[in-house]
A and B are shown apart, each in its own frame.
Chain A
Amino acid sequence: DAKTTQPPSMDCAEGRAANLPCNHSTISGNEYVYWYRQIHSQGPQYIIHGLKNNETNEMASLIITEDRKSSTLILPHATLRDTAVYYCIVRVGEFYFGSGTKLNVKP
């Protein structure tokens, strides 16, 4: 049970911000939201995670709505190397991956 819903694909122009949405309407109070990405033929790579506050690191920003039912991953200046499948995961205990969003960054 992945517990998250993401659009199957999105396009973004190189140099622009990529905003990837995720719905997790059944999230519980102690469940964190994690984001991973997977570039073709590689293992998934951790990006960021958060509980209820917005988070930022060197890769991305995570915006979580006040009711925690949805979140958005922001890549501030997308590059061609950011083309990947992005997974939003709600976690307590083990990690369950859904189908993710295929982000296509175009020149």
Chain B
Amino acid sequence: DVKVTQSSRYLVKRTGEKVFLECVQDMDHENMFWYRQDPGLGLRLIYFSYDVKMKEKGDIPEGYSVSREKKERFSLILESASTNQTSMYLCASSLGGWENTEAFFGQGTRLTVV
């Protein structure tokens, strides 16, 4: 069974902290994605990666960075957490070859910044 695993289901951090959200997939997928989901705004793409050490900005990259040192792991980093980054964060992965492959999602990390 395919699996995308996010390291935490719930997380509470303080303003100004550096926060790492980890995502691991066991499907040998080339592509990985980070989204955030807020009420009324749907899912918004933060960053994605086509391959190891490669990254591309999505719609809302400000305040975030990412790291992909290994194919199976894609980390989202909040350099200095702020209250407006309180959200549900979703990781996804898919095979390369873009158009004709579905993405698989993790269960999400609900981050609260206080």
Instruction: Give chain B residues whose Cβ lies under 8 Å from the Cβ of A94.
Output: 33, 45, 48, 56, 58
Interface pair B99/A30, CB less than 8 Å apart:
yes
The bracket for how many chain A residues form the interface is 20 to 34
Interface pair B45/A43, CB less than 8 Å apart:
no
Task: With CB as the reference atom, state the residue of chain B lying closest to A45.
Answer: B105
Q: Is B26's beta carbon under 8 Å from chain A?
A: no
Interface pair B102/A34, CB less than 8 Å apart:
yes
Interface centre among B41, B42, B44, B107, by most chain A C-beta atoms within 10 angstroms, is B42
Distance of A32 Cα from B43 Cα, bound (Å): 19
Q: Is B74's beta carbon under 8 Å from chain A?
A: no
SS of A interface (majority) = loop
Interface pair B108/A32, CB less than 8 Å apart:
no
Mark out the residues of chain B between 89 and 114 whose CB falls within 8 Å of any chain A CB in the assembled complex: 90, 92, 94, 98-100, 102-108
Interface pair A49/B102, CB less than 8 Å apart:
yes
The bracket for how many chain B residues form the interface is 20 to 34
Minimum CB–CB distance from A28 to chain B (whole Å) comes to 10
Interface pair B99/A91, CB less than 8 Å apart:
yes
**B35: contacting residue among A2, A30, A97, CB under 8 A:** A97
Interface pair B104/A46, CB less than 8 Å apart:
yes
Interface pair A44/B90, CB less than 8 Å apart:
yes
Over the window 56-83 of chain B, the binary record of Cβ atoms lying under 8 Å from chain A Cβ atoms (1 yes, 0 no) is: 1011000000000000000000000000
Other 11 A-B pairs with CB < 8 A, given A93-B99, A97-B43, A97-B44: A30-B99, A34-B102, A41-B108, A42-B107, A46-B104, A49-B100, A51-B99, A93-B98, A95-B33, A96-B59, A97-B35
What is the interface of chain B, defined by CB distance below 8 A to chain A?
Answer: 4, 33, 35, 40-45, 48, 56, 58-59, 90, 92, 94, 98-100, 102-108
